[in-house]
């Protein structure tokens, strides 16, 4: 081969080798840079993961520290209180008319109750609607003992009744009345009663909300105030049973479940029981419910907009009882009909927005304030919204008339 050709081949080989080396070196550098970037990304992801683990750990500790359930021995609590919870039974007799003439119809009723102590007496507390117009009342205990019972006192406005039984009071083990005012939304609660005839059944849940109002057929159109809403399952037959806190104190008396709902049970607060028990035992009644003599409805954003109100809360007065406390105080009722979101509203009346300086957001607040913080004969400063201006009126509370 001629020397010139050898030199050309050598030069070409060297050039090719140089190009390959350069390409390989560049590729190697790119791979190394990619690996370095990936390592940095993995490091960031690991740090994020450790941060998430710390957050999850902190949240877990917070939840565990706030949850009352782990500290509650439900089996021990049940064995401690079961002897104080009773089945209340009786018969309602109705005269019905058939083609063959009048016939007596007998219906068995059943509810729950519990032993409670007040004014030095041990009595049975239950719901008024459980024993209203009921004959042949009996009370049965967990151990099988059963006794005849008579009604000592009742208050249809609060759906409460007190029974006396023929057993020696020494044999009775009263439950401790706790304070419903200390309850918080989210607190753990226990309901024990006789749902659907299943005596001695325990269910658990939480306080879903406080300060509800409910209306029952026995209350004459008035609301029961400060009612506890709970997620503890409550069914027919539970009525009159205790709602307990995590240490076994009575914080309410189960009274109803919202029709057609699941997980919405209601209970009369223990503060109402404590306030009324002495009257029910000694006088047979409680007639210290304050009365304003007004009818009305909650102010909602839709109502406020339609009526051009300057406040989006309050209680719109739609009617005033002639001669009642509200009329004497100069509170005005509605005078015209206005369509609001497909319903008819009686407009033009005062809007109650405060009592003694306490904001009234609606009917729940109004009922709760009157029930827990006033008595008949007391004087109230009622702040109303009238024609766009705030006014304060002085009202002397009356005593609520008997249910019609």
| Per-residue model confidence as pLDDT tens for the chain (404 residues) | 555 554 555 555 544 445 545 444 545 455 456 556 666 666 666 666 666 566 555 544 544 444 445 478 999 999 999 999 999 999 988 888 888 778 878 889 999 999 999 988 999 999 999 999 999 999 999 999 999 999 999 999 999 999 999 887 667 899 999 999 999 999 999 999 998 888 899 999 999 999 999 888 778 778 899 999 999 988 888 999 999 999 999 999 999 766 655 668 999 999 999 999 999 999 999 999 999 999 999 999 999 999 999 999 999 999 999 999 999 999 999 999 999 988 999 999 999 999 999 999 999 999 999 999 999 999 999 999 999 899 999 999 999 987 76
What is the DSSP code (8-state) at residue 276? Answer: H
- Would strands 290-291 and 265-269 be described as parallel, antiparallel, or unpaired? unpaired
Annotated active-site residue in 84, 118, 154, 159 = 159
Is 239 a residue of the active site? yes
Annotated active-site residue in 84, 112, 118, 129 = 129
- The dihedral through the CA atoms of 22, 23, 26, 32 has a sign that is negative
Annotated active-site residue in 112, 239, 246, 290 = 239
Residues 356-369 as b or e (16 or more Cβ within 10 Å = b)? eeeebbbbbbbbbb
Alpha helices (runs of H) in 67-156, residue ranges in sequence order:
74-81, 128-131
Contact (CB, 8 A) for 369 and 353: no
What is the DSSP code (8-state) at residue 348? Answer: S
What is the rounded CA–CA span in Å between residue 17 and residue 23?
10
Task: Give the three-state DSSP class for 377.
Answer: coil
Q: Which two tokens stand for residue 336?
A: 């015209």
């Amino acid at each position: 081969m001629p020397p010139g050709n050898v030199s050309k081949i050598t030069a070409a080989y060297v050039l090719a080798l140089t190009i390959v080396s350069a390409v390989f070196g560049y590729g190697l550098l790119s791979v190394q840079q990619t690996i370095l970037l990936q390592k940095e990304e993995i490091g960031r992801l690991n740090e994020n993961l450790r941060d998430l683990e710390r957050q999850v750990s902190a949240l877990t500790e917070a939840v565990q520290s706030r949850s009352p359930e782990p500290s509650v021995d439900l089996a021990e609590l049940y064995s401690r209180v079961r002897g104080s919870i009773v089945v209340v039974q009786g018969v309602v007799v109705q005269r019905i008319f058939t083609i063959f003439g009048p016939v007596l119809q007998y219906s068995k009723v059943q509810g729950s109750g519990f032993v409670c102590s007040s004014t030095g007496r041990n009595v049975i507390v239950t719901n008024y609607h459980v024993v209203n117009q009921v004959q042949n009342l009996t009370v049965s205990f967990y151990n099988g003992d059963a006794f005849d019972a008579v009604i000592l006192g009742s208050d249809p406005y609060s759906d409460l009744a007190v029974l006396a039984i023929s057993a020696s009071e020494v044999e009775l083990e009263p439950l401790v009345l706790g304070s419903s005012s200390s309850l918080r939304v989210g607190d753990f609660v226990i309901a024990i009663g006789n749902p659907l005839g299943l005596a001695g059944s325990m269910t658990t849940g939480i306080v879903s909300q406080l300060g509800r109002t409910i209306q029952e057929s026995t209350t004459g159109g008035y609301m029961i105030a400060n009612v506890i809403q709970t997620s503890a399952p409550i069914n027919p037959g539970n009525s009159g049973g205790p709602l307990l806190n995590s240490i076994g104190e009575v914080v309410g008396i189960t009274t109803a479940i919202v029709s057609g709902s699941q997980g919405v049970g209601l209970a009369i607060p223990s503060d109402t029981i404590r306030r009324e028990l002495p009257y029910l035992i000694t006088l047979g009644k409680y007639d210290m419910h304050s009365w304003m003599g007004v009818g009305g409805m909650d102010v909602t954003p839709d109502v406020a907009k339609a009526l051009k109100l300057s406040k989006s809360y309050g209680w719109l007065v739609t009617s005033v009882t002639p001669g009642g406390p509200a009329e004497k105080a100069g509170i005005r009722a509605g005078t015209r009909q206005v369509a609001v979101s497909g319903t008819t509203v009686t407009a033009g009346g005062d809007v109650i927005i405060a009592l003694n300086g306490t904001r009234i957001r609606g009917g729940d607040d109004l009922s709760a304030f009157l029930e827990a913080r006033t008595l008949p004969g007391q004087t109230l400063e009622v702040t109303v919204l009238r024609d766009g201006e705030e006014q304060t009126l002085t009202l002397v509370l009356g005593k609520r008339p008997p249910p019609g």
